[in-house]
Amino acid sequence: RYIVCPRLARTVQQCLQRGAGPGPQPVLLEFSPGPGILTQTLLNAGIRVVALENNLAYLPKLQSLEKSLDGQLKVIYGDFFRLDPLVGGALKPPAVCSDKLFETLGVAAVPWRADVPLRIFGIMPHTLERKRLWRFLFGMYECSSIYKYGRVELNLFLSEKEYTVLAAKPGDLKAYQALSVLTQIGYEIELLHMEPWSSFITNLKTGGLSIPKTKLLPNDHLCLVRLTPQQNLFTGGLKPTNSSTFIFMVKQCLAKSSCRLSDRLNSWSLDSGGELLKALEIPENAKMSDLYPEDYRRLFEALQNSSMFSETWFYEDVFESRRTIN
Residues annotated within a binding site for S-adenosyl-L-methionine? 3, 53, 79
Spatial distance between the Cα atoms of 6 and 38, rounded to a whole number of angstroms: 7
Q: Radius of gyration (Cα) for the chain, nearest Å? A: 21
Spatial distance between the Cα atoms of 34 and 230, rounded to a whole number of angstroms: 31
CA nearest to 49, candidates 61, 60, 38, 35: 38
Residues 51, 74 contacting (CB under 8 angstroms): yes
Name the E strands within the chain: 2-3, 28-31, 49-53, 73-77, 119-123, 153-159, 187-196, 201-202, 221-229
Residues 222, 158 contacting (CB under 8 angstroms): yes
Residues 105, 29 contacting (CB under 8 angstroms): yes
Residues 221, 160 contacting (CB under 8 angstroms): yes
Q: What angle do CA 89, 326, 191 make, to 5 degrees?
A: 130
Preceding omega of 94 cis (within 30 degrees of 0): yes
CA nearest to 141, candidates 247, 235, 228, 227: 247
Give 206's DSSP letter: T
- Helices first, then strands: H and E counts in the chain: 12, 9
Residues with Cβ < 8 Å from 148, sequence gap 6 or more?
A: 98, 99, 109
Spatial distance between the Cα atoms of 150 and 108, rounded to a whole number of angstroms: 9
Binding residues: 3, 53, 79
